[in-house]
A and B are shown apart, each in its own frame.
Chain A
Amino acid sequence: MDVVRFYSNIIKRNMDKPEKINKLINFGLATAYYYVSIFKDKRGPNSLHYLTKYCIKSIKDSLENPQNSAWVNIFSPCEFLIALDIKPLFIEAYSSFMSGFFIEDYLIDTAESRGISNTLCSYHKTFIGANELKILKKPEFMLTTSSICDANVPTFRYLSKKQNVPLYIIDVPYKYSKEAVAYVKNQLLEMVEKLEEVFKRKLDLDKLREVVKIENKTRTLINKYLNYLKEKTLLIPMTFEMYMLFASHIFIGSKEILKFYEMLLDDIKNAPPRSGKSIFFLHLLPIFEKNFQDYFNFSNEFHITGSDLNFDYLEEIDEKDPFRGIAAKLILNTFNGEMERKVTRIRELIEKIKPDGIIQFCHLGCKQSIGGTFIIKELATKMGIPFLYLDGDCVDKRNNQMGQNRTRLEAFLEML
């Protein structure tokens, strides 16, 4: 019998006992952590092994220590949390893990039964469902940005009211200007005041500068890594690109993530020359979709050569004025602002990586991303690169049309 299914059935049978579920989830994460620590997947590079362990541990740590954790969204400026030694739990990651445990359907149905829109992003619905069922222990603080995803502000406001936990919303303007930077910087200052008050500790500015310095060093490595992708092939599963979001967003600035990119750079330097067909993904990867798993996981024939979400900011942050620097970073994210900004970044990446094809998996409920699908298709056509978009869900497996997707995916891969 499938062990994960057996585990998820136990969870589903006990959904009315939040304490028990909380323990079961923590147990599941601990088991997963020890499993990946002992049984290294030899098909992938060392950096994959390191990152997998790191990601599971980070989720486990924040869930086990709610008194020292903050719920955040993936675009939150976590440099401040790292400098204050607060464990962030980003809701997108938690929901992915719950989908990995095969309980996302129950959590989503719970959120929808409370009145939450069925067309809302399933990352958010899964998290809200877990919150409704009280299987999440309340954190000390919540933090969100308004940027990129409309759901952030209302989801966090809803969670904060339900849990009676302080929330700070960072409103990130759509356009870059000196007024916009001042607006965000002022909010970051206010947010730090709130963090200091709630966690009863003072932010050491030098420590924040150190975090930003590490982040800048890490970004230098990311840029170097990008230069290798054109000629080298790393055999990785789709989960690797998604785990990379921990590294390129929430935990960037930590020493562990710097180490990860050092390992990744070593791995890509020593990787064999590129062979087979390389696919560049846009936005998210459907890691639970079997069709995709069959074709892309550790495959030499069709390998994944990156996802634009991991390269949404590639510049340095001002180390002298980290508040100003981080404010600018938030506004200038390529997913923020006009689509043209995102298109320019995708063009740069395509020119650098030279993939054989581009796939955009249109995650149901993600309006900012799916709304621009045809604009990116136009770009791909101009650049002469085959482009495929498929509709589905990266969390709620019920929204994936396996038969239809397989035909389209196979036809696209045959086309290459």
Chain B
Amino acid sequence: MVGYVCKYTPVEIIEAFGEKPVRIESGCKSYERAEALLHTNTCSFVKGVLENIIENNIEEVILTSCCDSIKRLYDVLKDRVKFIYILDLPRKKDTFAVDVFYKEIIKFIDAYKAFKKKGFTVENFLKILEDKSSFKKTQKSSESIAILGARLKDDVVEKIKNSCSVNIINFTCTGEDRIFNIESEDNLLKGYAASLLNLTPCMRMAEDRSKFFYKDFKGIIYNTIKFCDYYSYEYAEMKSQLNIPFLKIETDYTDSNSGQILTRIDAFFEATDIKKMEQKKAKKGYFAGIDSGSTSTNVVIIDENKNIISYSIIPTGPKALESAFKAFEIALNNAGIKEKDITSIVATGYGRVSIPFAEKMVTEITCHGKGAFFIDNRVRTVIDIGGQDSKVIRLDESGNVIDFVMNDKCSAGTGRFLEVMSRTLGISIHEMAKVHAEVKENITITSMCTVFAESEVISLIAQNKDQKDIIHALNKSVASKAVSLVDRIGRKGKYMMTGGVAKNQGVVTAIESKLGEKLVIPAEPQIIGALGAALIAFEGTNG
């Protein structure tokens, strides 16, 4: 077994040696062993690969000089595995580049021959190439969703495929078909080297990729990887030029990220009408929405005239289902009705998949958009800052979600951030929410990261800074993060703020000052997601 990562690896040569090439995946639970050998700020993909090589005791590895992080992976692995080779991979594909790569492949064959003490036959090699060349797919691009960007794990691709009914084409390097065009058997290896350099270029290659991807797709899902910066340029470029549904996800290869990714993908399909719809007629009776969030579980019950007849907000306990039962029961009691009176229930929030008595699951993005527009149909941008995440949702004139952004896997700028800071300051979260008319010193918390900001706050405390000024600085910090999210999809009023942090007047004022516009704050901003879910239950349309 020979481990490799890059699609430009000459895997057919490994096969011709009679060995099995295995693409090393990067999924792992932690980077404990990798971070003992590589700096923590190295790309998470490379750390995951290193973790897997150690865990699975992979003894033979072939890498390419594809990026700085892989080069350092080679340096670290050099004396730790039985066989390792790094192929010099050119970024261009002219004849000089082919020469460089061809000679590299020859050197690799020699090195592997010496290590294995066996050769490979040309007949085998040719047969392998012919088998792959005959494999061609036909796909209609206009009916497809394209996955672009950094390499995406197979399980995430599967999740995407399972979330919709349209064709999904994976253009990341985990989805490439290997087709070879070898014209002359006399110079077989040179032709092979040229064919490899002619694969669809990844972002590290010199060629401009735009000609490959500006096609007529139904939508694009764009993946980036934490600490891998290559693809953000293309994302930035495409985002401003494309006029089709476009979703950015950021994966980091640890398993813990999948819930958030799934929410984004589902919301993307909901917003773009790509998810299968079930049309049902509106029903009479009562309708409930359950928002099972990471911090609080909220329930809203509406009647057949869309009047809110009761709601409940309780902290989410260690088990999402128990909290959902409890919140639902409180809302039923408040309304003075029984469970049997409820016609339909829709669940939303991170815990939505754990609520068996809900008929449907809809992402909180769609629900927040729905709820916000119902409260005030002038709203075009919803800023929702919850306990663990924050999102900005763009609505059109009819209240449909047309774009959204979420914070990445980090609690900066969320309710969690404020909680941590209130503990650091030794005050209650309610005290944090007050607006203090007089600011003695306009302090700025520069760190966006919760952990770093905490150490900054500790320094401010050590400098005897006024507590009110520190609170003001923290509120400004949350506001700054929220407005930068708004800027990622462009400013457009009217703005509504939802989620628990909307109760913090300090943050609200700071956002208003940065946006230069007043925010609409609902009477109870925490229940907007649940309200949206109840409305969807009422309409019975979103699947």
Output the least CB separation between A179 and chain B (Å).
Answer: 5
Given that A182-B96, A183-B97 are known contacts, is A367 also in contact with B68, CB under 8 Å in the complex? yes
Interface flags, A158-172, vs B, CB<8A=1, else 0: 100100000001010
Determine the chain B residues whose CB is within 8 A of the CB of A373 once the complex forms.
Answer: 39
Contact of A391 among B41, B65, B71, B103 (CB under 8 A): B41
Assembly CA distance A149 to B38 (angstroms): 17
Question: Is the CB–CB distance between B39 and A362 below 8 Å?
Answer: yes
Chain A residues whose CB sits within 8 angstroms of the CB of B240 once the complex forms: 114
Establish whether residues A371 and B103, one from each chain, have CB atoms under 8 Å apart when the complex forms. no
Contact in complex: A115, B206 (CB < 8 Å): no
Is A372 at the interface (CB under 8 A from chain B)? yes
Given that A115-B488, A365-B229 are known contacts, is A371 also in contact with B90, CB under 8 Å in the complex? no
Given the known A-B contacts A158-B233, A398-B448, are A113 and B71 also in contact in the complex, defined by CB atoms under 8 Å?
no
Query: How many B residues have CB within 8 A of the partner chain?
Result: 62
Interface centre among A151, A171, A362 (most CB of B within 10 A): A171
B448 adjacent to A367 (CB under 8 Å): no
Does A339 contact B75, Cβ atoms closer than 8 Å? Answer: yes
B86 touches A403 (CB 8 A): no
Which residues between 108 and 129 of chain A lie within 8 Å of chain B, taking CB atoms? Answer: 109, 112-117, 119-121
B239 at the interface (CB under 8 A from A): yes
**Does A182 lie within 8 Å of B88, measured CB to CB?**
no
CA distance A94 to B231 in the complex (A): 24
B206–A367 CB distance below 8 A: no
CA A174 to CA B100, docked complex, whole Å:
10
B residues near A151, Cβ cutoff 8 Å: 229
The segment out of B174-182, B264-272, B452-460 that lies at the interface is B452-460
**B230 sits at the interface (CB 8 A):** yes
**CB-based nearest A residue for B449:** A399
Are A171 and B92 neighbours in the complex by a CB distance under 8 Å?
yes
Output the residue of B75, B104, B233, B487 with the most chain A CB within 10 A: B233
CA distance A121 to B230 in the complex (A): 11
Question: How far, in angstroms, from A171 to B462 measured CA to CA in the complex?
Answer: 51
B6 to A: closest C-beta gap in Å:
13
A371 touches B71 (CB 8 A): yes
Query: CA separation between A137 and B96, bound complex, in Å?
Result: 35
Question: Which residues in B have their C-beta under 8 angstroms from that of A329?
Answer: none
Given the complex, which residues of A lie within 8 Å of B88, measured CB to CB? Answer: 173-175, 180
Among B41, B43, B73, B446, the most chain A Cβ lie within 10 Å of the Cβ of B41
- Cβ contact within 8 Å between B100 and A367: no
For A120, list chain B residues within 8 Å (CB).
229, 232
Q: B100 to chain A: which residues have CB within 8 Å?
A: 173, 177, 179-180, 183
Q: Is A116 a contact partner of B236 (Cβ separation < 8 A)?
A: yes
Q: In the complex, what residue of chain B is closest to A396 when comparing beta carbons?
A: B446
The answer to whether B39 touches A114 (Cβ under 8 A) is: no
B38-A374 in contact (CB<8A): yes
How many Å lie between the Cα of A338 and that of B76 in the bound state? Answer: 10
The reply to whether B86 and A149 contact each other, CB–CB distance below 8 Å, is: no
Chain B residues, Cβ within 8 Å of A182: 96, 99
Q: Does B120 contact A (CB under 8 A)?
A: no
Q: Are B76 and A153 in contact (CB under 8 A)?
A: no
Tell me if B204 is interfacial: C-beta within 8 Å of chain A.
Answer: yes
- A294 to chain B: closest CB distance in Å? 16
B453 to chain A, nearest CB (A): 10
Name the CB-closest residue of B to A403. Answer: B459
Q: Which chain B residues numbered 307 to 356 have a C-beta less than 8 Å away from chain A? A: none
Which residues of A, 71-119, contact B by the 8 Å Cβ criterion? 105, 109, 112-117, 119
User: Are B65 and A174 in touch, CB under 8 angstroms?
Assistant: yes
Q: Is the CB of B236 within 8 A of A371?
A: no
Asked if B19 is at the interface (CB within 8 A of a chain A CB), the reply is: no
Residues of B within 8 A of A187 (CB): 92, 96
Q: A154-B230, A171-B97, A180-B100 are in contact. Are A370 and B41 (CB under 8 A)?
A: yes
A401 at the interface (CB under 8 A from B): yes
**Is B446 in contact with A153, judged by CB distance below 8 angstroms?**
no
Interface size on A, residues (CB 8 A): 55
Complex Cα spacing A112 to B104, Å: 38
Closest chain B residue, CB of each to CB of A182: B96
Contacting pair A364 B448 (CB below 8 A): no
Contact, CB under 8 Å: A340 / B75: yes
Contact of B206 among A113, A169, A174, A340 (CB under 8 A): A169
Chain A stretch 389-415: residues in CB contact (< 8 A) with chain B: 391, 397-399, 401-404
Once the chains are docked, how many angstroms separate the CA of A186 from the CA of B92? 12
Q: Which A residues are in CB contact (< 8 Å) with B38? A: 371, 374
The answer to whether the Cβ of A37 comes within 8 Å of any Cβ in the partner chain is: no
CB–CB A174/B91 < 8 A: no
Confirm or deny: B69 has a beta carbon within 8 angstroms of a beta carbon on chain A: yes
Q: Are A155 and B233 in contact (CB under 8 A)?
A: yes
**B158 touches A (CB below 8 Å):** no
Instruction: Report the minimum CB–CB distance from B204 to chain A (whole Å).
Output: 7
A150 in the interface, Cβ–Cβ < 8 Å? yes
Taken together as a complex, chains A and B put the C-alpha atoms of A112 and B480 apart, in Å, by 13
Q: Does A368 contact B (CB under 8 A)?
A: yes
Verify A117–B237 contact, CB threshold 8 A: no
B171 part of interface (Cβ distance < 8 Å) = no
Give residues 331-369 of A contacting B (CB, 8 Å): 338-340, 362, 364-365, 367-368
> Contacts of A398 on B, CB cut-off 8 Å?
446-448
Q: Is the CB of B103 within 8 A of A404?
A: no
Min Cβ gap B285→A in Å is: 45
Find chain B residues with CB under 8 A from A404 CB.
455
When the two chains form their complex, are residues A150 and B67 in contact, meaning their CB atoms are under 8 A apart? yes
Supposing A338-B74, A375-B76 touch, asked if A183 and B90 sit within 8 A by C-beta, the answer is: yes
**What 10 pairs across the A-B complex have the smallest Cβ distances?**
A371-B72, A115-B236, A117-B232, A398-B446, A339-B75, A368-B68, A174-B65, A367-B68, A183-B96, A120-B229
Chain A residues with a Cβ under 8 A of chain B: 105, 109, 112-117, 119-121, 146, 149-151, 153-155, 157-158, 161, 169, 171, 173-175, 177, 179-180, 182-183, 186-187, 338-340, 362, 364-365, 367-368, 370-375, 391, 397-399, 401-404
- Please name 20 pairs of A and B residues whose Cβ atoms are closer than 8 Å in the assembled complex, sorted by A: A105-B446, A146-B91, A153-B206, A155-B233, A169-B92, A173-B88, A175-B88, A175-B104, A177-B103, A339-B71, A362-B39, A367-B43, A367-B68, A367-B72, A371-B71, A372-B72, A374-B38, A399-B452, A401-B447, A403-B458
Q: A146-B91, A151-B229, A401-B455 are in contact. List 19 more A-B contacts (CB 8 A).
A: A112-B484, A116-B236, A117-B224, A119-B229, A146-B206, A150-B230, A154-B234, A158-B233, A171-B92, A174-B65, A179-B100, A367-B41, A367-B68, A367-B72, A370-B42, A372-B72, A372-B75, A374-B76, A402-B459
